Amino acid sequence: MLDVRRLVLLRDLEVHGTVTAVADLHGVTPSAVSQQLRLLEEETGTRLLERTGRSIHLTAAGRRLNRDTEHVLAALERARIRLHTEAEKPAGPLGFACFPSALASVAAPLGRALEETCPDVQLHITEAEPEAAVRLLLQRRADLALVYRYDNLATSPPVGVETWTLRTDPLVAVLPRDHPAALSAGSPIALRELADTPWTTAPAQTACGDAVLQACRSAGFTPQVRNICTDFSAMIALAGSAGHTALIPRMAATDLPPALIARPVTDGTLARTIEIAVRHDTAHDPAIAACLTTLRTLLRGSA
């Protein structure tokens, strides 16, 4: 009988392209992945991989096996779900991967709501940015993942999972209350009005940092970055103490110090789309379905 874990490695190699990427996905070494793939070829008695120099590709037989693997994995998921659907109510452990800026506003209320409505479900929350959260899903170390994509970046949908859009989280300009652009209460501002202001931003190689940089360049300027950090709470604190500007998701700008104010911006569709991701064929699992319903309710109420 073929080893399912090895089949999964072959499937992931076709999806992610390199042995190193598959090793990172599963938290093992590239040599361990290569060894398991060689053993799979021995099990099947078929050449599944073509090696050209340092590149590796699946043969036609390998691609056919992957198509069958998807059917096998889906059948296993359905079998697990049927075991749970015979229960009268949702129960069991449920892994939820959540990006940092939604931990307080989404993950914590989700845990409280499930305790009230589904007391037999034990929610296990893991902080993870979208790419890492999808890896946790594919590794079956999480059952749901809250992820996001910035609308002004050409970010592809996550591979190997099903996603549903939950809401849009617009970016807002956080700036000192005495800044000229902040004086008109509640009015949207154009980013160009902030061109001469020192900025606090996320690093350029992160999704948020890249989205902010692209937005500012589209508005005709490059921001004068003074402070760089990844944590939105720290970003707000730095902006408040130094009188700088920051462009962050509205979800992260709910608790500002008195010296700062948040303003919507007029530049295009500056927002991130928040999505929920699950493995294929798992959305009907009673515990996952209950969590999805609760998430939609929570995010609809906080929009």
> Does residue 93 have a pLDDT over 70?
yes
**92-98 and 121-127 beta bridge pairing:** parallel
> Does residue 184 have a pLDDT over 90?
no
Asked whether residue 187 falls in the same domain as residue 261, the answer is: yes
Which CATH number does the domain housing residue 252 bear?
3.40.190.10
* pLDDT, averaged across the chain: 88
pLDDT, greater one: 160 or 295:
295
pTM of the model: 0.77
Asked whether residue 231 falls in the same domain as residue 185, the answer is: yes
Asked whether residue 109 falls in the same domain as residue 187, the answer is: no
Which CATH number does the domain housing residue 46 bear?
1.10.10.10
Q: Are 171 and 255 in contact (CB under 8 A)?
A: no
Residue-level pLDDT at 90: 84
Asked whether residue 285 falls in the same domain as residue 211, the answer is: no
* Widest Cα–Cα separation across the chain: 73
Counting residues of the chain whose pLDDT is more than 90, the rounded percentage is 58
- Over range 77-92, report the average pLDDT: 68
Asked whether residue 222 falls in the same domain as residue 158, the answer is: no
Range of the domain at 116: 88-145+153-162+279-302
Residue-level pLDDT at 129: 94
- Over range 68-80, report the average pLDDT: 75
Q: How far apart, in whole angstroms, are the C-alpha atoms of residue 172 and residue 174?
A: 6
Give how many domains the chain has, as a whole number. Answer: 3
Q: Which residues contact 52 (CB under 8 A, 6 or more apart)?
A: none
Query: Residue 67's pLDDT band (boundaries 50, 70, 90)?
Result: confident
1-58 per-position pLDDT tens digit: 888 889 989 988 988 889 998 898 888 999 999 999 999 999 999 999 998 777 888 9
